[in-house]
Chains A and B, each alone.
Chain A
Amino acid sequence: MAIYKLKTPISEEKVRKLRVNDVIYVTGIMITARDAAHRRALEFHKEGKALPVNLQGLAVFHCGPIVKKDDDKWMVVAAGPTTSTRMDLFEDEFIKNFKVRVVIGKGGMGKKTTNAMKKYGAVYGAFTGGAAVLAAKAIKKVRSVEWYDLGMPEAMWVLEVEDFGPLTVAIDAHGNNLFEDVQKKVEEERLKIYQKLGA
């Protein structure tokens, strides 16, 4: 296990150095995107329209933040991760088209996303579920909010972050998926546990 501090824009070469179980901290620009923002971004791409922000080398965070406006300035109050599996629907195309390098969320992602990460060079960073204060502390500034018509949680928040983490690399750019490894081991344990319990 190694600890890396990454600055956006992150290069493919840097991301390919990371391995599952490494811990990363991201500094620079991170955008939030949940189901609706993923869908819209892919629609934009299909129609040949440019996204409001060039996502190449950036981090995308599966998160619906609580943001408040003080004197015309947005402030992130809480920003815990949401369950990433919902974004499995879009993430492979998202990585392919926009070249994001770090996908952040909780609970892990599936085969399709893992394959795209291997092919195009990206990693999945697991952020602790519920650790909303820790996340908010690392968010230094709201640079802009795009697609606010989608609602506060679903909008694309463009954030300046400093040492955002710790993120455990749970899917690397070499096809390794820590969540799948754990699930496999858990399945192997299941019968042993039944036996021990006499169940």
Chain B
Amino acid sequence: MITKNSVEDVAVKLLYLAVTELPQDVKKALQQACREEESEAGKTQLKAILDNMELAEKTRTPMCQDTGVIIFYVKAGGQVKGLDKIEKALRNATVRATKEVPLRPNAVDPFTQKNTGDNTGRFIPFINWEIVPGDTLEITVMPKGGGSENVCALGMLSPGIGVNGLKKFVVDTVINAGAKPCPPNILGVAVGGGADIAMKLAKAALLRPLDQPNPDPNLAKLEKELYEAANSTGIGPMGLGGKFTVLGVKVDYAHRHPASYPVAVAVQCWAARRASARIYPDGKIEYLTHKVV
């Protein structure tokens, strides 16, 4: 049985795993960048990132002081019972994790500037719902840091310029961001739909592991092209110069209005934190991004 309690416990665990240990694909990409980086300053920064990552794992402390705004992605099987209890469970989990892990309280009222102190507030944690066939419940958490969030960009481009405009917009976003989003970054890029749809898809694209190229060969080619373009800027790790400004680019799209060409770029910092688990109807829990002993 999938119960409110089991969902809450799993979500607390996912929050803990996400902030203390990077998923394998991100770890590997950072290690590879450190091996291949040619700029001295860039290499020093990447080494520090790897040392920090290992220490965080060993001491079970958050790898970055900014433990982000909490975003959940829930893939709920249509046959799962008690879906109306899940939101409450995820909010409870967020409050608990804030105390137990601990997480930095990052939910501030935009009018009174008051911090709620427990990472919950209006629409926060934010939950992205997807109803899928089946009887399992898949929960992903993405704690999203503020430094990289501040350089996310949306362009409502001219359809006449098309995909070339998209490419230029991505390069401009990377250059304008410079050192600010703690590079090397991961870029989620999405085009089409509408302003909100493009940004939502761009952010969700960040969840696809770095070692998984786009299943659409044309988009896989575009991802590679954008990856090479971003890295030829020379911004490098922490903006100190070098080959690795991004670790990967993930592209997604929706069909668009004939008059619109929305392009969204979601920027993720090197601390690209995410954790997922699947809960089965018999209560079995499978962790998808982390080894859990």
A residues apposed to B, CB below 8 Å:
1, 21, 23, 65-66, 77-80, 83, 106-108, 126-134, 136-137, 166, 168, 170, 178-179, 181-183, 185-187, 189-190, 192-194, 196-199
Contacts known (A129-B238, A170-B41); A199 close to B66, Cβ less than 8 A: no
Contact A132 B164 (CB under 8 A): no
Contact A108 B45 (CB under 8 A): no
**CB-CB < 8 A to A182: which residues of B?**
234-236, 239-241
Interface majority SS (helix, strand, loop, mixed), chain A: mixed
**CB-CB < 8 A to B49: which residues of A?**
128, 130-131
* Cβ contact of A193, chosen from B51, B145, B229, cutoff 8 A: B229
**CB-CB < 8 A to B41: which residues of A?**
21, 126, 168, 170, 178
Can you name the residue of chain A whose Cβ is closest to the Cβ of B64? A130
**CB-CB < 8 A to A198: which residues of B?**
164, 167
Interface residues on B, range: 35 or more
Can you name the residue of chain A whose Cβ is closest to the Cβ of B47? A166
* Cβ contact of A132, chosen from B65, B179, B241, cutoff 8 A: B65
B residues apposed to A, CB below 8 Å:
40-41, 44-45, 47-49, 51-52, 55-56, 59, 61-66, 104, 145, 147, 164-165, 167-168, 171, 175, 178-180, 182, 225, 229, 232-236, 238-241, 269-271
Distance from A20 Cβ to chain B, minimum over Cβ atoms (Å): 8
Q: Kindly list 16 other residue pairs between chains A and B, CB separation below 8 angstroms, not including A130-B66, A199-B164.
A: A21-B40, A66-B65, A66-B104, A80-B64, A107-B179, A127-B48, A129-B182, A130-B65, A130-B147, A131-B64, A133-B55, A134-B52, A182-B239, A182-B241, A193-B232, A197-B167
Contact A186 B235 (CB under 8 A): yes
Once bound together, how far apart are the Cα atoms of A178 and B168, in whole Å?
26
Can you name the residue of chain B whose Cβ is closest to the Cβ of A63? B65
